[in-house]
Amino acid sequence: MGNCFAKNHGLMKPQQNGQTRSVEVDQTHQDPPHTPEKRSSETNQPPPWRMAAPAPSPKAAKSSSILENAYEDVKLFYTLGKELGRGQFGVTYLCTENSTGKKYACKSISKKKLVTKADKDDMRREIQIMQHLSGQPNIVEFKGAYEDEKAVNLVMELCAGGELFDRIIAKGHYSERAAASVCRQIVNVVKICHFMGVLHRDLKPENFLLSSKDDKALIKATDFGLSVFIEEGKVYRDIVGSAYYVAPEVLRRRYGKEVDIWSAGIILYILLSGVPPFWAETEKGIFDAILEGHIDFESQPWPSISNSAKDLVRKMLTADPKRRISAADVLEHPWLREGGEASDKPIDSAVLSRMKQFRAMNKLKKLALKVIAENINTEEIQGLKAMFANIDTDNSGTITYEELKEGLAKLGSKLTEAEVKQLMDAADVDGNGSIDYIEFITATMHRHRLESDENLYKAFQHFDKDGSGYITIDELEVALKEYGMGDDATIKEVLSDVDSDNDGRINYEEFCAMMRSGNPQQQQQQQPRLF
């Protein structure tokens, strides 16, 4: 759960942030390694969440405290400012430390999102790991955790430089040497994690932010939601991670720390070519491609990429984890070493274009599907309407996690709690912890019906308020703000993703291309559905 919450990328169920929680949650992990005591000079700072918690206060115990401490109001120590981002698990705010005036990021995670025991265990473990790794190069500094009746608030370093790939795309050009510099910092994170007894398990570009807007800003790893403390001799079997970056041994349910090198290798492949090596429209298709293991080094721009760079990619993406290169050896590779063989010759600009398409967040696409569902012919969705009513047992107009779980069970579903949670998060467009009627219709209708020419035109007209034939920046801002997503960063992301002719607005052709886009190398296939 990263500090700037610059997430929500459709890579895997759930369809926005690409993160899949463990299907077989292992709730036994070793105690974290010893964390040094805070220096006396820090005693006047806000107290971070304590590893050895005192007995919870009666109020905390009564309210099922997640951090197992007395409740503390984060606002006693920090003044919350503007919203920086909104995602699957919560909202991130700019905050100012009252005692020093320093700026930080405060991620507020709704306790409604922490439904199961596994969710709560994951939350506690993530905090332990962030506290354990804090202060290391290329890892976000963790300040503390504060829990109240409604939320768990994580305060951490403000990474004002934004997402790694956004910076690369914005520069408009870069070289193998620049790609090597990025990869070196990412692999350094892997080396630190493994040295300090942590298995990351979810390395992907979205989890790396830049510390500032400076050209020489450090890359910082920010999300440790799927990380675990390494247990000597343990073989991990739960399938976690993000589809494009998952190692083959994860899919075979028998893996160790080598999976982090594989994921870093996928990121390097993307840095050099603009797309991941294993493409498909569906999660199953991606997994099949990973298991097949064919890596394309023939298509553009690979003929112009140095042999040394390709050698490192091959070694990082070796299918057999026992033969895969280690983090220490990656950092010593001739291409990756500082001042090494990586060329300063610019990489083909087409790579940036492909990277931009791959990196698309498609917030507007998800919002457009919801608009279409709101205006769909009632007769077309009569059965879905009845299904919604049957699942919404308290007639509140929304479906909670418990209602969804019970409703699926009645339909004969054999899904685990974690898988039901994934479906819940995928359908919950506005991130409020429940599924309303329109969100349900959006998630359950056949996608080809939602994306008919007639429905796409109606959706375009919904956004094109003045009938000009274009969705302008102002119209986009109005539409996104209606769903709590109208911040400047999101608007820029959507325009960057969709506005292919770069005229600062979205025409109907661009809108349709976005709505029907999927795998750029294959014809669109049917999307996964809730039922």
Could you say which of 122, 202, 428, 499 is catalytic? 202
Distances (CA, A) of 408 to 384, 431, 440: 14, 21, 13
Most confident range, picked from 329-343, 359-373, 474-488: 329-343
CA distance 240 to 21: 6
pLDDT tens per residue, range 55-75: 334 443 444 688 877 888 999
In the numeric block, which tokens belong to residue 486?
A: 């109208």
Q: Enter the pTM of the model.
A: 0.61
What pLDDT, on a 0 to 100 scale, did the predictor assign at position 22? 35
What pLDDT, on a 0 to 100 scale, did the predictor assign at position 486? 59
DSSP string, 130-175: HHHHTTSTTBPPEEEEEE-SSEEEEEEE--TT-BHHHHHHHH---B
C-beta separation of 485 from 420 below 8 A: no
Helix axes of 473-481 and 363-374: crossing angle, nearest 10 degrees: 70
CA distance 191 to 52: 27
Tell me the β-bridge partners of 59: none
CB atoms within 10 A of CB 237: 14
Region 393-402: mean pLDDT is: 84
- When pLDDT is cut at 50, 70 and 90, the band that residue 483 belongs to is low
CA distance 330 to 207: 20
pLDDT tens per residue, range 247-271: 999 999 999 999 999 999 999 999 9
CA distance 72 to 145: 9
pLDDT tens per residue, range 215-253: 889 999 998 989 999 988 899 999 888 889 999 999 999
Q: Is the pLDDT of residue 176 over 60?
A: yes
- Determine the topology of domain 40-157 in CATH: Phosphorylase Kinase; domain 1 (3.30.200)
Would residue 202 show up in a list of annotated catalytic residues for this protein?
yes
Q: Is the pLDDT of residue 385 over 80?
A: no
Distance of CA 101 to the CA centre of its chain: 30
107 is in an annotated binding site: yes
* Percent of the chain's residues with pLDDT above 70: 72
Give the residue extent of every domain in the chain.
Answer: 40-157, 164-358, 363-516
What pLDDT, on a 0 to 100 scale, did the predictor assign at position 318? 98
Q: Strands of 90-97's sheet, edge to edge?
A: 78-86, 90-97, 103-110, 151-157, 142-147
Alpha helices in 66-149 (DSSP H): 117-133
240 closest CA partner among 260, 226, 255: 226
**Class of the 164-358 domain?**
mainly alpha
Residue with tokens 């349910």: 253
DSSP string, 273-289: HSS-SS--SSHHHHHHH
Q: Look up the CATH architecture of domain 363-516.
A: Orthogonal Bundle (1.10)
The amino acid that residue 241 corresponds to is G
What pLDDT, on a 0 to 100 scale, did the predictor assign at position 62? 40
Give the three-state DSSP class for 292.
helix
What pLDDT, on a 0 to 100 scale, did the predictor assign at position 337? 85
Residue with tokens 């606002």: 75
- When pLDDT is cut at 50, 70 and 90, the band that residue 116 belongs to is confident
